[in-house]
């Protein structure tokens, strides 16, 4: 595989996102980094990484529909916004609410043996939940309607503020991944513990695709219009 920038890799192979997530390679905020440098930055062996990545893509692309589909790049601003609201915003609201409930349950049940981890995880998750829920409302009620209507400099500044929110969410996610040892359940963890961490992992994967679609497809398309 050639040394291309991460956002081009994802455009060409949408399923690479899951593989990159597993290896903690940030294609979201680091989308403009070159693949080889990103591998080296993570201290991974380049040859075996590329071999595994190619095998993974070959297997997955044969059986799964791409998650960042090629047609997203062809959509208009209106279509992209409708797509984001109908998919990622809905799915993530559902996941946030489900995790919130389960996490409080495991905090209560496993407090004695895992209080240090669970208090930190609960607190980080609640910060992320609050940030995202407010962010979704700002997009849906304020910035997205403006983006559909007018490509002005004032709207462009609001779009830049959304990008800054994405970075903030990315930082909280990295802290959550670190504190949970990448959502690893302790050996005495119950099925709810496991389900909560599995759902958090799914949430994080969805958020990365969501932010990528906004940062790398929707916002550049809007910025181009605002510059004209």
Residues that bind Fe ion (CB under 5 A): 139, 214
Neighbouring C-beta atoms of residue 95, cutoff 10 Å: 19
Which residue, 193 or 208, is less far from Fe ion as judged by CB? 208
The whole-angstrom separation of Cα 71 and Cα 52 is 27
Shortest Cβ 166–Fe ion spacing (Å): 6
- List, in sequence order, every residue forming a beta bridge with 34; answer none if it has no partner: 5
Write down the least CB distance from residue 110 to Fe ion, Å.
33
- Residue that the structure tokens 């969501």 belong to: 210
Q: Which is nearer to Fe ion, 133 or 226 (CB)?
A: 133
| Residue 170 vs 225, nearer CB to Fe ion | 170
Dihedral class, residue 24 (left if φ above 0, else alpha if ψ from -120 to 50, else beta):
left
Q: Minimum distance between the CB of residue 159 and Fe ion, rounded to whole angstroms?
A: 10
CB-nearer residue toward Fe ion: 69 or 194: 69
Closest separation between CB of residue 196 and Fe ion, Å? 23
Q: How far is the CB of 177 from Fe ion (least distance, A)?
A: 19
CA distances, 183 to each of 45, 111, 213 (Å): 24, 17, 24
Residue 164's φ and ψ, nearest 5 degrees, are: -65, -40
Residue 34 phi, psi dihedral angles, 5° rounding: -80, 145
Name which of 48 and 90 has its Cβ closer to Fe ion.
Answer: 90
Which three-class secondary structure state does DSSP give residue 142? helix
Distance separating alpha carbons of residues 182 and 178, to the nearest angstrom: 6
């Amino acid at each position: 595989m050639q040394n291309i920038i991460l956002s081009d890799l994802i455009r060409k192979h949408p399923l690479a996102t899951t593989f990159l997530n597993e290896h903690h390679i940030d294609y979201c905020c680091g989308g403009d980094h070159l693949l080889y440098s990103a591998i080296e930055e993570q201290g991974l062996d380049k040859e075996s990484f590329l071999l595994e990545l190619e095998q993974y893509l070959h297997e997955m692309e044969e059986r799964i529909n791409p998650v960042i589909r090629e047609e997203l790049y062809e959509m208009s601003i209106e279509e992209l916004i409708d797509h984001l609201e109908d998919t990622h915003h809905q799915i993530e609201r559902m996941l946030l609410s489900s995790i919130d409930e389960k996490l409080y349950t495991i905090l209560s049940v496993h407090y004695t043996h895992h209080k240090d981890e669970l208090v930190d995880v609960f607190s980080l998750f609640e910060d992320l939940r609050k940030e995202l829920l407010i962010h979704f409302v700002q997009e849906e009620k304020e910035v997205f309607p403006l983006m559909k209507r007018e490509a002005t400099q004032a709207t462009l500044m609001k779009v830049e503020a959304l990008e800054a929110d994405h970075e903030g969410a990315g930082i909280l996610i990295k802290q959550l991944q670190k504190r949970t040892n990448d959502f690893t359940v302790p050996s005495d963890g119950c099925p709810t513990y496991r389900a909560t961490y599995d759902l958090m992992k799914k949430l994080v994967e969805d958020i990365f695709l969501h932010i990528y679609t906004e940062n790398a497809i929707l916002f550049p398309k809007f910025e181009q219009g605002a510059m004209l």
